[in-house]
Amino acid sequence: MGLIDYFRSAAGPNKGSASVAKERLRILVAHDRAARDRPFYLPKLQEEIVAVIRKYVAVDNDAVSVNYEQEDSQEILEVNIVLPESPP
């Protein structure tokens, strides 16, 4: 056994490109299914929330995250906004 073979065996079983591609596809499908269950108005709602906040504070689009969850008979909309630091 060569030195390279030793490190390959120490890292675990060698995953082929097919198994890596399959795992990536699973992640993409799961993400797509999660996005499909969201209400259609969520992106527009996020834009409007940011527009209202920008009237008072300069906020980037990247500073806002909107999460939607549905549990039994409840719908939960969580809005997280990172506000810029105010000068002292």
pLDDT digits (tens, 9 = 90+) for 5-63: 655 555 555 567 888 788 888 887 776 666 666 677 777 887 788 788 889 888 887 88
Residues 79 and 88 sit within 8 Å (Cβ to Cβ): no
| 26 in the same domain as 13 | yes
DSSP run (H or E) holding 64? strand 64-71
4 vs 64, which has greater pLDDT? 64
| 44 in the same domain as 68 | yes
The whole model's pTM is what?
0.45
Q: Within a 10 A sphere around the Cβ of 46, how many other Cβ atoms? A: 15
| 60 in the same domain as 86 | yes
pLDDT at 50: 78
CATH number (domain holding residue 80): 3.30.1070.10
Using CA atoms, how far apart are residues 87 and 78, in angstroms rounded to an integer? Answer: 28
